[in-house]
Amino acid sequence: MKHPVLIATLFACFATPQFLAAQSTLSHVEIGVFADYFRLDRTNPTLNFVGVGGRVGFNLNSYVQLEAEMAYDFDRNYTSVYSNGITTDFVTSQTHILHGLFGPKFQTGSGPVRFFVTAKAGLISFSTNNQNVPAGFVNSLGAVGDGNAKFAVYPGGGLEGFWGPIGLRLEAGDDIYFDNGAQNNLRVTFGPTFRF
């Protein structure tokens, strides 16, 4: 009876450091900020919005991660051409867009360069106001609770490269929101990512 206990104890003594070393090479959390490009195809002319965002991801293993992200797109200026073809107006859209998405990211291993695909769901909120940026951001957050938010799904993919704990991530996908049918919109994000 002493031999199995002794063998189990020795195995635990030798296996525990190996297990802890393997865990230390697997990053558990990724935090990133990004520049956000959103092409709103529903309008005529098509409006291109630019904003900023952040995301956090938790690794379930080397190939699957759960991510949550939020982005805020600032209002967009555009040119309106009159029917005579000569006279134009420079107009501010006064529309701000807030994206909130959550879902899995499937990636290729844990090496320095990884390809990935993602499928997220969440909300997209369009708000229109004439306030400055900080007040407009507060209004957009309030609009989510006011019923102006639309259900959205986001299939996408991209590439990320890491140099130690610091990396860069490029992602593109179709930000689909539902308002009188599915509305497809190109969305591209790029920015640094930190893992630990």
Domain spans, the chain = 27-195
Q: What is the pLDDT of residue 42?
A: 73
CB 89 within 8 A of CB 77: no
As a whole number of angstroms, the distance between CA 75 and CA 93 comes to: 6
Distance set, CA 161 to CA 1, 119, 120, 173, 194 (Å): 52, 20, 21, 19, 11
Q: What is the pLDDT of residue 24?
A: 45
Distance set, CA 194 to CA 60, 105, 136 (Å): 17, 16, 29
pLDDT digits (tens, 9 = 90+) for 98-145: 999 999 999 997 778 999 999 999 999 887 765 555 555 444 444 443
Q: 3-state DSSP helix/strand/coil percent for the chain, to nearest 5? A: 20, 60, 25
pLDDT at 18 > cutoff 80: no
Q: What is the pLDDT of residue 94?
A: 67
pLDDT at 88 > cutoff 80: no
> Whole-prediction pTM value?
0.72
Tokens of 94: 């006064």
Task: Tell the CATH topology of 27-195.
Answer: Porin (2.40.160)
Q: What is the pLDDT of residue 5?
A: 56
Q: Find the DSSP H helices in the chain.
A: 2-25, 133-145
Q: How confident is the prediction for the chain on average, in pLDDT?
A: 78
Highest mean pLDDT: which of 25-29, 72-76, 158-162? 158-162
Tokens of 100: 């909130």
Q: What is the pLDDT of residue 105?
A: 96
Locus of tokens 């990211």: 105
Peptide bond into 45 cis (omega under 30): yes
Going by C-beta distance under 8 Å and a sequence separation of 6 or more, which residues neighbour residue 146?
A: none
Locus of tokens 């006279």: 87
Look at 78 and 19; give whichever has higher pLDDT: 78
Nearest CA-CA partner of 36 in 165, 132, 154, 145: 154
CB 132 within 8 A of CB 92: no
Nearest CA-CA partner of 53 in 148, 146, 151, 175: 175
* Confidence band of 146 (pLDDT split at 50, 70, 90): very low
